[in-house]
Amino acid sequence: MNAEQIIATIIFVTVFALLIWGKIHRAWVALGGAALITAIVLRSPSNVWNAINWQTIIFIFGMMVMVEGMARSGFFRWLCLRVAKMMGYDVPRLFIAFMLVSGFLSMFIDSITVLLFLAAIIIELGRLLKFNPVPLIIAAIFAANTGGSATMSGDPPNIIIGTSFGLSFFDFLMNTGLIAWIGMVAALIFFYLVFRKTLKPDGGIAVDTSKLPQPSEAITDRRLFRLSTFVFLIVVGLLVTHHISHIHVATIGWIAAGLTLLAVLWIKLTTTNSNFGLAFKSDWEVLKGVDWKTLLFFFGLFITVGGLDKAGVMALVAGFIGQSAGGNLIIAISMILWISAFASAIIDNIPFAMAMVPVVRALSLEQGWSIQSLSWPLALGTDIGGNGTPIGASANVVGLAIAEREGHRISWGYYCKYALPAMIIVVGICNVLLILRYA
């Protein structure tokens, strides 16, 4: 390694270490690394601009705006209460249903958002039905990350991989989708078996379900509820068909944000005597709800990883993997999958996915392997591997933070006792299925 590569690697490792430490907000850590890598490696504005995956940034922004509009209407709370009522408020059935809901929603909505409302509803139901919500929260986290691996829009690592390699929503659905849901079934069976004794009301106390909140009570604005649901269905339709329509995911992000803001604006103008100035204030409130720090985090990481790639560090890593695999695609797929899984269990899977994209690209060019055959183990490894520890994925951090805030602290030991074996089992299943299909 030359001096530039050594310095770039030191900056990157320092950024990762600070992210694991967690005492400084990850956005400022990433931006600090970006500033250093720009000054030492990238040096020019054009290099910085080219390092940023704008499709990912814009798409995530648009989805954040859409989800904020849906949340304001009470959509997510309504959905959870509706599912609970359909299950007859039976705890074992709720356990299965919430895992499936978590996995399904995470195919289309960022898993962080899914856990934001799902963890809160699980805790509320636990309080009302008098059962321990912790097993459901752990299972819902695992399901969100696993379900998110099934599509391109499901988890941030998939958005990064998909936009970097020109893969579509349909590409992911047809390749990682089936594998992810086979893994989901295995995870559901595993968690049900290990938690089955806790899936009952404390002390066997019967609960008067007639006094529980009704789904209709969760809707705060019926017109916004209908419009935001309609916008969501349009966006899902555009995502599923964008390989046919050739609409870029960035454009879909703009459509999601634009339609949501127009819906909020129209409702404000038609339900009050507001002028445009006051009505636009409602849109501003929606925009304020967007997680801007997470977007800054993405900016910083793209620039940091871009500098690492430009310095040639990622080509060295790709060469090492190719040499270790000995030209054998089966070994390469397994290495990418398991390295991604265990690395993502230790560090946030978003920066790891960003770092691995140029490695996969270089490995494909050097060995002549299809870039898709290397993309799927990377996507499954980063998404499902992130389940392994409380810090492996952002959804884990969010779900456990909500639980702790509500008085249900989940320790590292307790979480890993159940999630880590489940992660290893599911990744092992993925490994077998990937080899059977692509090697």
Per-block mean pLDDT, blocks of 10 residues, the chain (439 long): 90 85 85 94 92 88 90 88 89 94 91 84 87 93 94 88 91 94 96 90 63 85 93 91 86 94 88 66 86 86 87 82 86 93 83 87 89 94 92 82 86 92 97 91
> How much is the pLDDT for 41?
93
SS3 per-residue string spanning 381-394: HHHHHHHHCCCCCH
Write down the pLDDT at residue 26: 81
> Does residue 236 sit within a domain?
no
Report if residue 263 sits inside a domain. Answer: no
> Does a structural domain hold residue 389?
yes
Count helices and strands in the chain by DSSP H and E runs: 21, 0
CB atoms within 10 A of CB 102: 30
pLDDT confidence of residue 417: 94
Contact between 63 and 256 (Cβ < 8 Å): yes
Is residue 187, in this structure, part of any structural domain at all? Answer: yes
Residue 261 lies inside a defined structural domain of this protein = no
Under 8 Å CB-to-CB from 346, ≥6 apart: which residues? 20, 388, 389, 391, 392
Q: How far apart are CA 187 and CA 348, in angstroms?
A: 21
**What are 354's two structure tokens?**
């960003």
The phi and psi torsions of 274 (rounded to 5 degrees) equal -65, 145
Scan for tokens 């604006």, then name that residue. Answer: 265
Task: State the pLDDT at residue 235.
Answer: 92
Residues 77 and 216: their CA atoms lie apart, in Å, by 10
Residues 6+ apart with CB under 8 A from 73: 219, 220, 221, 224, 225, 227, 228, 229
Q: Give me the pLDDT at residue 323, please.
A: 86
59 falls within a domain: no
Residue 137 located in a structural domain: yes
Residue bearing tokens 């339900």: 271
One-character DSSP codes across 57-92: HHHHHHHHHHHHHHHHHTHHHHHHHHHHHHTTT-HH
Q: Which of 79, 63, 6 is nearest to 40 (CA)?
A: 6
Do 42 and 311 touch, CB atoms closer than 8 A?
no
Q: Which domain holds residue 138?
A: 3-51+75-218+291-438
Q: 270 is written with which tokens?
A: 């038609």
pLDDT at 298: 83
Residue 376 belongs to a domain:
yes
Number of domains in the chain: 1
d(CA 99, CA 184): 9
pLDDT at 258: 95
Give dist(CA 149, CA 156) in Å, integer.
10
Q: Give the pLDDT of residue 210.
A: 72
- Residue 277: CB atoms within 10 Å: 7
Chain centroid, CA 18 distance in Å: 21
227 in Cβ contact with 217 (< 8 Å)? no
Alpha-carbon separation of residue 305 from 308, 310, 354, 378, 408 (angstroms): 5, 9, 7, 16, 37
Kindly state the DSSP code that residue 289 receives in the 8-state scheme: T
Under DSSP, is residue 135 helix (H, G, I), strand (E, B) or coil? helix
Three-state DSSP state, 409: coil
> How far is residue 244's CA from residue 38's CA, in Å, rounded to a whole number?
38
CA distance linking residue 143 with residue 384, whole number of Å? 9
